[in-house]
Amino acid sequence: MLSNNDKTLYALGNRAIETDFVAYRKPLITLSQIFLIALTYYCSFLLRFDFALQKSISDLFLQTLPWVIAVKLLIFLFFGLLRGWWRYVGISDLGDISKAAFASFGVLYPVFQILWRESGYPRSVLAIDLVLTILVVGGARFLVRIYTEHANTYAAQKNTLIVGAGQAGITIERELTRNPLLGFKPIGFVDDDPTKIGIRIHGLKVLGNTSVLSQLIARHEVSSVLIAIPSATGPQVEKIIDRCRECNVKFKILPSVNERINGQASIKDLRSVRVEDLLGRQPVPLDMDSIRNKFSDKVLLITGAGGSIGSEIARQVARFHPKQLLLFERSENDLFKLCLELSETSSNLKVVPITGDVLDVATLRETFALHRPHSVFHAAAYKHVPMMERNCFQAVSNNIFGTYNVALVARQFQVEDFVMLSSDKAVRPTNVMGVTKRVAELIILGLQYQQTRFMAVRFGNVLGSNGSVLPIFQQQLSKGGPLTITHPEATRYFMTIREAVQLVLQASTMGKGGEIFILDMGEPVKIVDLAKNLILLSGYHQEDEIGIAFTGLRPGEKLYEELLIEGEGISRTWHNKICVLKSAAVRFEQVRGWLDELSDCLDAKNVHGLIAKLMEIVPEYAPSREILSLCEVDRHDISREYRRARISLPSIAGPAA
């Protein structure tokens, strides 16, 4: 691969040559076209008269040549053939040349029949000239393209195989060939489609399938492999990576369509392989029209907007040009960062940052009254399982009462749609976080209202979200390990943040009210496998450099997560990655009763009563040993100590001046 200095000198040299050429490009192109027009016309006479031109025929050629040149130049100018760069010629240019040739024939034939009919002008000459014009004028352009592409390949010293001979791989090959300074020299394709083996694409051969990748790397002295299969499954990517690692070659991957918003493959999208690529999540098909119609020119409110999911919702809905985007977040730093990002990526979007807490009903009412949102995405919640086991009162306040506050105010102001983001931990919950999310689901079902459609979307873990396992592993890797895992058999569902939000947006267009949507999380993944893949992708060897330590399950954690519970009626939707659950109806009076009793437990700091009430509301809730140990403490002692501490606090306000 060229050094930076070599690249700079090479670029400067090419730029100087091109600058000199550009100054005279138009007259040079015109002269070259005149030469080619005269050549094809002369060859037409030679072919017509078997390469034996008599003087009378030669005179006829000379008399008609100026007409041919003048007419063809005017028609070439009309079709744009006297401008452009021949090095970038393509099929569309060949089409223009063919149109120009037929147009020239259509103009010249009747003119020559009128002016030179008595001179014995051979009519077949113009027909032969038509064919030769397409072949010679088009061929000259393609020869220039072939020369420029092959003349520049010396600058690319890194023999490269492209895995995937589909549209994405072909696009990558074309960009590499046109830009040698990238340092990659494509030498062939690899593809598992047996019908493609041996064929040539843009002059490069499909050398074999991925099963012989190791042999191809050795045979062709390959030093880099580019994986250009956006629809590849996790096992397929892992197999390719294993072979690259065995041969000690570098590899990069083209992300899936989920990650590339515009859907177009480009060399700039190539990046190092990440753990999420090994999940093999298939591209999410979206009904873009229904999403655009729902959000375009509408006022949208996102609670918890500074979090991983909330901020991604903001990024994605910004593409659909909402009238206003209300970002409700209590962390001013996270809110500031998101607003700064959106101002750079979506400068025309009207963003309204609101620093507020979902427990602050006055701020919520003020927000809804001032801005009148059409749709609400409720992403604000406490999510860390072990932490919520030790802070159960805060979990109930934020996850249950916070959801109720936002939902009730949304109902009062007749919001069109209310979408709550739920969790797979709400299924047979074994922790406070999970049971509070399940109660929140039941609350919005109880608030179901004619003018407002309430729905929940339930999904599992998202890779890369704040506090999730992947960022923790990456921090541990940066410190040299070991990676800590709770249990060898701990298994979770995973999807990327982008995919989760895409499906949430799609589900929001389907709801008629009262549904709990479940996203297809694919196959569950062992956390230990995730850790091993991350170690290998980071260039380490687990046995030699980075270890894995098992720490035991944390308070409230399960070995396995679920997405369904018995008794819930599940049905498919038109989208193959979204199912819908129709739960039993919940009365609003029942919700108010639950909240009153839970509120009493919060005020009294009554852990025992709180857990008992949660078990009553959600019978499948199985409290953890840690939370039960808190219940063994005399709740009257807790309440008494709480009241004593509160009463003994000195007054904040001093005596009146």
The verdict on residue 475 lying in a domain is no
As a whole number, mean pLDDT of residues 460-478 equals 79
Lowest mean per-residue pLDDT among 11-15, 242-246, 376-380, 445-449:
11-15
The verdict on residue 562 lying in a domain is no
Question: How far apart, in whole angstroms, are the C-alpha atoms of residue 189 and residue 204?
Answer: 7
Question: How far apart, in whole angstroms, are the C-alpha atoms of residue 65 and residue 73?
Answer: 12
Count of structural domains, the chain: 4
Same domain, 422 and 495: yes
Q: What is the pLDDT of residue 357?
A: 96
Same domain, 145 and 164: no
What ranges make up the beta strands (E) of 332-387? Answer: 351-355, 375-378
**Greater pLDDT, 564 or 382:** 382
Average pLDDT, the chain: 83
The verdict on residue 458 lying in a domain is yes
Q: What size, in residues, is the chain?
A: 657
What's the pLDDT band for 407 if we cut at 50, 70, 90?
very high
Measured in whole angstroms, the distance separating CA 178 from the mean position of its chain's CA atoms is 26
Same domain, 91 and 240: no
Question: How far apart, in whole angstroms, are the C-alpha atoms of residue 460 and residue 561?
Answer: 8
pLDDT digits (tens, 9 = 90+) for 38-88: 999 989 999 888 888 888 888 888 889 999 999 998 998 888 777 665 665
Q: Which of 222, 252, 279 is the last residue of a domain?
A: 279
CB-based contacts of 292-295 (< 8 A; 24+ apart in sequence): 292/320, 294/320, 294/375, 294/417, 294/508, 294/509, 295/320, 295/321, 295/322, 295/375, 295/505
Q: Which residues pair with 459 in a beta bridge?
A: 423
Pick from 58-67, 79-88, 268-277, 458-467 the range whose average pLDDT is largest: 58-67
The verdict on residue 655 lying in a domain is no
The verdict on residue 643 lying in a domain is yes
Q: What is the pLDDT of residue 79?
A: 83
Ramachandran quadrant class, 164 (left: phi over 0; alpha: psi -120 to 50; beta: rest): left
Q: What are 300's two structure tokens? A: 């949208």
Q: What is the pLDDT of residue 440?
A: 96
Cα Dmax for the chain: 124
Same domain, 541 and 615: no
Question: How far apart, in whole angstroms, are the C-alpha atoms of residue 32 and residue 29?
Answer: 5
The verdict on residue 311 lying in a domain is yes
The verdict on residue 438 lying in a domain is yes
Same domain, 265 and 347: no
Same domain, 57 and 164: no
Answer yes or no: are the C-beta atoms of 622 and 430 closer than 8 Å: yes
Nearest CA among 93, 79, 71, 83 for reference residue 26: 83
Q: Which residues of 275-286 are buried (b: 16+ CB within 10 A; e: fewer)?
A: bbbbbbbbebee
Assess whether pLDDT exceeds 70 at residue 398: yes
- 595 burial via Cβ count (<10 Å: 0-12, 13-18, 19+): middle
Kind of pairing between the strands at 375-378 and 417-423: parallel
Q: Which of 102, 129, 151 is the last residue of a domain?
A: 151
pLDDT digits (tens, 9 = 90+) for 302-312: 999 999 999 99
Q: Is 613 a catalytic residue?
A: no
What ranges make up the beta strands (E) of 62-203? Answer: 158-163, 184-190, 200-201
As a whole number, mean pLDDT of residues 414-438 equals 93
For the whole prediction, is pTM greater than 0.75? Answer: no
As a whole number, mean pLDDT of residues 125-131 equals 91
Assess whether pLDDT exceeds 60 at residue 258: no
Q: What is the pLDDT of residue 572?
A: 85
Question: How far apart, in whole angstroms, are the C-alpha atoms of residue 424 and residue 158?
Answer: 47
Same domain, 524 and 439: yes
Helix residue ranges per DSSP H, 265-327: 288-295, 308-317
Same domain, 445 and 577: yes
Same domain, 580 and 599: no
What's the pLDDT band for 2 if we cut at 50, 70, 90?
very low
Q: Domain range for residue 607?
A: 590-648
Q: Which of 151, 185, 202 is the last residue of a domain?
A: 151
Same domain, 523 and 631: no
Q: Which of 158, 185, 252, 425 is flagged as catalytic?
A: 425
Same domain, 446 and 303: yes
Q: What is the pLDDT of residue 341?
A: 94
Sign of CA dihedral 462, 463, 466, 472: positive
The fraction of the chain above a pLDDT of 70, given in percent, is 83
Q: What is the pLDDT of residue 543?
A: 55
CATH number at 165 reads: 3.40.50.720
Answer yes or no: are the C-beta atoms of 301 and 326 closer than 8 Å: yes
pLDDT digits (tens, 9 = 90+) for 369-394: 999 999 999 999 999 998 999 899 99
The verdict on residue 429 lying in a domain is yes
Same domain, 368 and 447: yes
What's the pLDDT band for 552 if we cut at 50, 70, 90?
confident
Q: What are 148's two structure tokens? A: 């420029």
Q: What is the pLDDT of residue 640?
A: 55
Lowest mean per-residue pLDDT among 291-295, 464-468, 475-479:
464-468
